[in-house]
Amino acid sequence: MVERQGIRGLVAHLILWVGIAVVAFPVYLAFVASTQDAASIANGQMSLLPGGHFLETYTRTIFVGTSGSTREPVGVMLFNSLVMALVIALGKIAISILSAYAIVYFRFPFRMWIFWMIFITLMLPVEVRIYPTYKIAADLNMLDSYAGLTLPLIASATATLLFRQFFMTVPDELLEASRIDGAGPLRFFWDTLLPLSRTNIAALFVILFIYGWNQYLWPLLITTRDDMQTIVIGIRKMITTSDALTEWPMVMATAVLAMLPPVLVVIVMQRLFVHGLVETEK
């Protein structure tokens, strides 16, 4: 449309930059804090420009850890978070794509029952059934283990529904052509359906990786040992109730490190991220 840009365009740019500033400022501040010395932060005289302690703070954070409440180096926590995020993302994708394949491409007894059984779990976030689930994980000896950290979060109706929806759009003729070409169910899945689902798998991976990385309540309960902590839990534990003991530069460095992987994933794979977000919410 022909429209006088001029002042109105300027206002739009301005508002967007204000928005970006609001969104970015807390993170910028965290980064600045992580490069300064603890004393100047603790007395409330922090500068708004980066200081000179970048390398020192980050090496100590990653390899040594705080001397306060958690003694584990953040490197270990990063590893735990990575394992958790990867297992959750890949596990969800794997079991969802298989079950969606069964539901869409086979006819078998109780098919609709099973579909609804999976579908209903959409409505039961882990938060509402937290203690009974905890108890079961404890009974199964899963406390302080990667299995306990990930398995209860792996079942996902969202991913199953997404794959089901996608499979429904795959033309029937592809299956028929495959059957005429002599491909059985597993071969059709492997040779045709899986390659066709690549984009959806990647998009889902981005969303689920972030979901897994950012888990809080469940890992908080299931991990008691410091060396099983994820980074998101670790930060929380670094902040002690008595402010004097909190090593703020390292807390902020940890916060930056905790944000870095998922934020990078979003920025680098923006197209897939948007696709995944819009698809999973359908």
Partner 1 sequence: MQKQSVFHSPLLPFLLIAPQVGIVLVFFYWPALQAVWQSFLLQDAFGLSTTFVAFENYAELLQQPEYFNAIVRTFAFSALIAGSSLSFALLLAVMADKPLRGVGLYRTLLIWPYAVAPAVAGVLWMFMLHPSLGVLARGLRNMGLDWNPLLNGNHAVILVVLAAAWKQISYNFLFFLAGLQSIPKSVLEAAAIDGAGPMRRFWTVTFPLLTPTIFFLIVVNIVYAFFDTFGIIDAMTGGGPAKSTETLVYKVYLDGLLGGNLGSSAAQSVLLMVIVIGLTAIQFRYVERKVTY
Partner 2 sequence: MSNVTLRNVRKTYPGGVEAIKGIDFAVDDGQFCVLVGPSGCGKSTLLRMVAGLETITKGEIDIGGRVVNDIEPADRDIAMVFQNYALYPHMSVYNNMAYGLRNRGMPKPEIDTRVREAARILEIGALLERKPRQLSGGQRQRVAMGRAIVRQPKVFLFDEPLSNLDAKLRIAMRVEIRKLQRRLNTTSIYVTHDQLEAMTLADILVVMNGGMVEQIGNPLEVYRKPASTFVASFIGAPPMNLITLDADEIRAQFSGDARANTEAGILGIRPEDLLISTEAAASGGLSLDLVVDAIERVGAETFVYGARARHGEPAISARPGELPPGEVIVRVPGQNAPAVGERIMVTAPRERLHLFSADGRRRIDL
* 182 binding partner (options partner 1, partner 2, none; Cβ < 5 to 8 Å by kind): partner 2
- Residue 168 or residue 194: which is nearer to partner 1 going by CB? 168
Kindly indicate which of the ranges 56-64, 66-74, 191-199, 231-239 contains the residues binding partner 1, using the contact rule CB under 8 A: 231-239
Under rule CB under 8 A, how many of the chain's residues touch partner 1?
A: 104
Q: Per CB under 8 A, does 89 bind partner 1? A: no
- Rounded to an integer, what distance in angstroms lies between the CA atom of residue 59 and that of residue 73? 10
Rounded to the nearest whole angstrom, what is the least distance from the CB of residue 198 to partner 2 in the complex?
8
Q: Using CA atoms, how far apart are residues 175 and 93, in angstroms rounded to an integer?
A: 22
Please answer whether residues 205 and 253 qualify as being in contact, where contact means their C-beta atoms are separated by less than 8 angstroms: no
Q: Does residue 281 bind partner 1 (CB under 8 A)?
A: yes
* Residue 49 contacts partner 1 per CB under 8 A: no
Joined together, the tokens standing for residue 231 give: 């980074």
Q: Can you tell me which of 7, 23, 49, 180 binds partner 1, judged by CB under 8 A?
A: 23
Residues contacting partner 2: total by CB under 8 A: 16
The residues near 106 (Cβ < 8 Å, ≥ 6 apart) are 185
Is residue 9 classed exposed, middle or buried when 0-12, 13-18 and 19+ CB atoms within 10 A define those classes? exposed
Decide if 160 contacts 99 (C-beta within 8 A): yes
The encoded tokens of residue 144 equal 């302080």
SS3 at position 49: coil
By beta-carbon proximity to partner 1, the closer residue of 167 and 205 is: 167
Ranges within 157-196 binding partner 2 (CB under 8 A): 171, 173-174, 176-177, 179-183, 187, 191-192, 195-196
